[in-house]
Structure 1
Amino acid sequence: MNTTRLPAMWEIMIVLALFLAVVISFATVFDLPIQLALFISWFIVMALGVRLGYTYNQLQGAITRGISNGLEAILILLAVGTLIGTWIAGGVVPSLIYFGLEFINPTFFLLATLIICSITSISTGTSWGTVGTAGIAMMGIGQGLGMPLALVAGAVISGAYFGDKLSPLSDSTILSASMARVNVIDHVKAMLVLDIPAYLITAVLFTVTGFMYGGKDFDAGRVEGLKSSLLDTFHISGWMLIPALAVIVLLAFKKPSLPAIAIGSLLGIIWAVVFQHMDVASAFNTAYEGFKINTDNTFLSELLNRGGILSMVGSIIVIIFGLGFGGLLDELGVLEVLLSKFEKILVNSGNVTASTIFVGLLGNIFGCAMYVSLILTPKIMEKSYDKLRIQRLVLARNSEVGGTLTSGMVPWTDNGVFLATTLGISTFAYLPFMWLSFISIILAIIYGYTGKFIWYATEEKQRSSIAK
């Protein structure tokens, strides 16, 4: 039987430095795919694993276990790909864009974007689905209104993340609660005291910014040209929104995400055949290859030529390699060793809160996927909360802040790749405008150091929680 040991701090620093060097150089210097950088990084960590006494079979098992933790995300991502392609073909997204251009005031557009994406995300429980449907529509409207697209993307992401965190249908919400071993509804209630103030502040910021930018570059002729192109290309009417409403209703009644999204895709195909007069084979093919069309409006062509399973392949490869990388780090105990260096300062709720958010961010940076972060963070931090008798609800909330809300900030995470690819805006371009995420992080840390909304467990409850 082989004997293994935990890595030394200097060994971890070398491996993580090599990882960052490979990823950053591939992305910024050599312009090579981030997927290749993540694949190479597997072998960097595996070399450390061999040095620590692990066999190749053990390391391969860690990779496969890590990947298995994110298979649900991969399946949902595939379904979202079909949804985007078929909803564009069926006229759902084009109709949303048209009505938005028709009725939304440029001054309040950013606030409207935040609210619309919030409602969609709360109803469906998926930030990815929101970004891939309502988010694409709002980007199109924003372009037509002359708004900075990075700013629009920030409003889309803020709304999508807010709704996702407060929806008991959300897979990340369920995962955070289950990993911290708390009730999902109780977890959502604990998130409310953080997310509602953060949302109101975010809404004020986007409202004020809307007054600064709204109408500044507004070109009525460009808007009318975009609307005309939509009318020439698609049948536009309120009936086109029925597939979207159907998915929202299904998810609101707590039906599983995958079949609900699949039903929405099927309705998109039917709508493409019945209302957009596509032949059946072409309509079905939009679920796989996405929607493709050439119009005189260059922007409209760029906006609508997307979707399908094939469009998600790059993101799925990132998720697979990222989950495998996170599985290796978990097996070798890398994050636990890093946290052990901070154990002496984990003596109050403020330091524990800040450390939890930091660990969540590290989980995204080095685990390359939100799911890795949400799995590792509660597992690593739970002893510190139990030692201070802080309720696991606070652990779940802080894990969400550190794991979910920072995932889109890292270009090589599952969220980072998906958001940049779907919205057509680079991570570093929209990053400064992820206002809900930044405000939530600040509020969580303020709560930690002031003791506000930090709940403590009785000895009986604490023993029961630890025993679960």
Structure 2
Amino acid sequence: MSKVKLVINPAIIMAVSLFFIIGSIVFSVPLYYGFIAGIVFTVIVLKKSGYALKELLETIVSAVFEVKNLIIVILFIGATTSIWLASGVVPTIMYYGFTYMEGVNFLMAAFLIMTAVSYFMGTAIGTMSTVGISLSGIGLGLGIPLNLMVGVLVSGAFIADKISPLSGLVNLTMTAINRNYKDILKSTLVTLLPTIAITAAIYYIMGLNYMSGDYSKLILYKNAIAEGFNTSKILLLLPVVILVLSVSGLKSIYTLCVGIGVGAVLSIVFQGMTMAEVINSILFGFHGKTPSEELNKLLVSGGMVAMIEAIFIVISAISLVKIFEKGNILMPLMDRLVSGINTKINLVLRTGFISTILTIATCDQTAGIILPARILNDKYKELELDNAVLARTISDTGVIVAPLMPWNINSFLIKPIMGITAAQYAPYAALCYVCPLVSVAAAFLLYRSKNHKNIQKSNDV
């Protein structure tokens, strides 16, 4: 249909919708209520502006079908978490971890382990739901607070979304700016390496507080795991298989299927579970039954059923974004943000700001990638700045800040996995703060000096 004039300013529509979302968090009601309220409000405004109600409802329905694969992945993540616990894979990793991590700066080690694993797995949430749970258990044994531990794990896990060649977001970025992985990697290393080094240093300093503690709890947990599970190094083959499949480029859905299937077999063979018990764990979750009640609180998963609320939130969040796109609510705001850019530094800073704002406002990183890439690509050509820098800046800002927002899709997928909210772990997710700051510093260091050189050349002429 032809363009229509909105009866309310687009900025007000977004602000009201965000108010509903934040309100649901403040009043501790299910987050999807806030999204639904935003959808209803936006639909009413668009209908009064001239859009047909049928057309808007069709947009919402199409959004649901668009995320059908994501819904399957979310359900499989819930199943994976349960089956890795039930099969003894996670307890086994913890068992051997309790032995080899004594005297190690565990916070820094956990960050580097998650960084490496997430890069090869290509999925932040997948890494959190497998290796992340194991490392959090070891951290518990070392007396590390859960909110701090999860913050460390999130920092390492979201390296996947930033630079892994297997990540859907990285491939979306490559498509959006029409560049290959080699070009983007070369540009991203400029900020990635300092970010990892600074974050590792932060966690090393923080980790010093947990290196001289009482290791008697480790022995207690280790004995509890030995009594509650049949541990075996053979169980460690499952994480290796999943890592190999991820590196080979197999789609996440198929990789998760293999992990669930093999985990089910291991549950029957090593833990003596019946098929009915395995299915029950996959659907309704698993609860550890070791002699340690404190450890049992960690060895818990809600299964597929626990992910239902997350699915409602994903569907409602994506529907709201699609309604925004249908009503052309985002683009007028983007046009205002783009105006007045006349230097390379300003361009990079504005790119990061736009990407971050879109990720915050739309509850997902997708808009924070696609829209900046679409509206700023010509500006990068105009100012003779490689658009690989555009990709780097987006991944340094809009992509990496996502898990900090309590209403973001990523943070409410982490909650059922780790058992705490974004508000609890966000202060400790150091990489999510360091990366944008390094990106800003790099812009000033790289392009300020070039601007000075250009000015000097002009003066010489």
TM-score (norm 2): 0.91
User: Quick check: 2:17–2:39 contact (8 Å CA) kept in 1?
Assistant: no
- Answer with 354-363 or 62-71: which moved more: 62-71
2:395 aligned residue: 400
Secondary structure in 2 matching 1:303: coil
Please give the alpha-carbon distance, in whole angstroms, between the structure 1 residues aligned to 2:240 and 2:447. Answer: 39
What are the ranges of 5 or more consecutive residues in structure 2 without an aligned counterpart?
A: 451-461
1:463 aligned residue: none
Letter in 1 for 2:70: A
Secondary structure in 2 matching 1:390: coil
Instruction: Find the partner of 2:146 among 142, 149, 152.
Output: 149
1:44-123 matched pairs, under 5 angstroms: 44-105=41-102, 108-123=105-120
Q: Cα deviations across residues 264-296 of structure 1 (Å, max 9, x unaligned)?
A: 111110100001110122123322222234444
Please give the alpha-carbon distance, in whole angstroms, between the structure 2 residues aligned to 1:72 and 1:444. Answer: 33
Please give the alpha-carbon distance, in whole angstroms, between the structure 2 residues aligned to 1:410 and 1:6. Answer: 32
Go from structure 1 to structure 2 and tell me whether the alpha carbon gap of 1:6 and 1:349 turns closer, same or farther (over 3 Å shift): farther
Letter in 2 for 1:178: T
Q: Cα deviations across residues 112-149 of structure 1 (Å, max 9, x unaligned)?
A: 11111112111211111111111111111111111122
Instruction: Find the partner of 2:345 among 322, 332, 350.
Output: 350
Letter in 2 for 1:310: V
Deviation at 1:67, TM superposition (A): 4.3
1:332 aligned residue: 327
User: Quick check: 2:111–2:153 contact (8 Å CA) kept in 1?
Assistant: yes
1:451 aligned residue: 446
The number of equivalent residue pairs is 451
User: Quick check: 2:337–2:354 contact (8 Å CA) kept in 1?
Assistant: no
Letter in 1 for 2:22: I
- Say whether residues 1:4 and 2:3 are aligned partners: yes
TM-score (norm 1): 0.90
1:266-305 matched pairs, under 5 angstroms: 266-305=261-300
Go from structure 1 to structure 2 and tell me whether the alpha carbon gap of 1:453 and 1:351 turns closer, same or farther (over 3 Å shift): closer
2:196 aligned residue: 199
Deviation at 1:230, TM superposition (A): 0.9
1:220-239 matched pairs, under 5 angstroms: 220-239=215-234
Q: Cα deviations across residues 344-378 of structure 1 (Å, max 9, x unaligned)?
A: 33222222222222222222222122234333332
2:208 aligned residue: 211
Q: Cα deviations across residues 299-323 of structure 1 (Å, max 9, x unaligned)?
A: 3222112052222222121111111
- Answer with 65-74 or 400-409: which moved more: 65-74
Secondary structure in 2 matching 1:308: coil
Please give the alpha-carbon distance, in whole angstroms, between the structure 2 residues aligned to 1:136 and 1:220. Answer: 20
Letter in 1 for 2:430: W
User: Quick check: 1:101–1:141 contact (8 Å CA) kept in 2?
Assistant: yes
Please give the alpha-carbon distance, in whole angstroms, between the structure 2 residues aligned to 1:122 and 1:326. Answer: 28
Deviation at 1:246, TM superposition (A): 0.6
Deviation at 1:59, TM superposition (A): 2.0
Deviation at 1:227, TM superposition (A): 1.5
- Answer with 185-194 or 89-98: which moved more: 185-194
Please give the alpha-carbon distance, in whole angstroms, between the structure 1 residues aligned to 2:203 and 2:90. Answer: 23
Please give the alpha-carbon distance, in whole angstroms, between the structure 1 residues aligned to 2:323 and 2:40. Answer: 10
Please give the alpha-carbon distance, in whole angstroms, between the structure 2 residues aligned to 1:324 and 1:229. Answer: 46
User: Quick check: 1:85–1:290 contact (8 Å CA) kept in 2?
Assistant: yes
Go from structure 1 to structure 2 and tell me whether the alpha carbon gap of 1:402 and 1:44 turns closer, same or farther (over 3 Å shift): farther
Deviation at 1:167, TM superposition (A): 1.7
Deviation at 1:337, TM superposition (A): 1.4
1:426 aligned residue: 421
Go from structure 1 to structure 2 and tell me whether the alpha carbon gap of 1:386 and 1:46 turns closer, same or farther (over 3 Å shift): farther
User: Quick check: 1:447–1:453 contact (8 Å CA) kept in 2?
Assistant: no
User: Quick check: 1:290–1:306 contact (8 Å CA) kept in 2?
Assistant: yes
Go from structure 1 to structure 2 and tell me whether the alpha carbon gap of 1:149 and 1:181 turns closer, same or farther (over 3 Å shift): same
2:378 aligned residue: 383
- Answer with 330-339 or 265-274: which moved more: 330-339
Go from structure 1 to structure 2 and tell me whether the alpha carbon gap of 1:75 and 1:346 turns closer, same or farther (over 3 Å shift): farther
User: Quick check: 1:4–1:54 contact (8 Å CA) kept in 2?
Assistant: no
Deviation at 1:92, TM superposition (A): 0.7
User: Quick check: 2:345–2:447 contact (8 Å CA) kept in 1?
Assistant: no
User: Quick check: 2:352–2:397 contact (8 Å CA) kept in 1?
Assistant: yes
Q: CA RMSD in A?
A: 2.4
Go from structure 1 to structure 2 and tell me whether the alpha carbon gap of 1:57 and 1:447 turns closer, same or farther (over 3 Å shift): farther
Letter in 2 for 1:4: K
Please give the alpha-carbon distance, in whole angstroms, between the structure 2 residues aligned to 1:419 and 1:376. Answer: 26
Please give the alpha-carbon distance, in whole angstroms, between the structure 2 residues aligned to 1:426 and 1:106. Answer: 30
Please give the alpha-carbon distance, in whole angstroms, between the structure 2 residues aligned to 1:306 and 1:105. Answer: 27
Secondary structure in 2 matching 1:200: helix
Deviation at 1:180, TM superposition (A): 1.8
Please give the alpha-carbon distance, in whole angstroms, between the structure 2 residues aligned to 1:130 and 1:225. Answer: 27
Go from structure 1 to structure 2 and tell me whether the alpha carbon gap of 1:43 and 1:100 turns closer, same or farther (over 3 Å shift): same
Deviation at 1:447, TM superposition (A): 2.4
Please give the alpha-carbon distance, in whole angstroms, between the structure 2 residues aligned to 1:384 and 1:52. Answer: 32
Q: Cα deviations across residues 312-337 of structure 1 (Å, max 9, x unaligned)?
A: 22212111111111111222222221
Please give the alpha-carbon distance, in whole angstroms, between the structure 2 residues aligned to 1:442 and 1:214. Answer: 29
User: Quick check: 2:18–2:38 contact (8 Å CA) kept in 1?
Assistant: no
User: Quick check: 2:313–2:409 contact (8 Å CA) kept in 1?
Assistant: yes
1:361 aligned residue: 356
- Answer with 59-68 or 389-398: which moved more: 59-68
Secondary structure in 2 matching 1:341: helix
Instruction: Find the partner of 1:417 among 407, 412, 420.
Output: 412
1:299-314 matched pairs, under 5 angstroms: 299-314=294-309
Please give the alpha-carbon distance, in whole angstroms, between the structure 1 residues aligned to 2:206 and 2:284. Answer: 38
Go from structure 1 to structure 2 and tell me whether the alpha carbon gap of 1:173 and 1:239 turns closer, same or farther (over 3 Å shift): same
Please give the alpha-carbon distance, in whole angstroms, between the structure 2 residues aligned to 1:441 and 1:53. Answer: 40
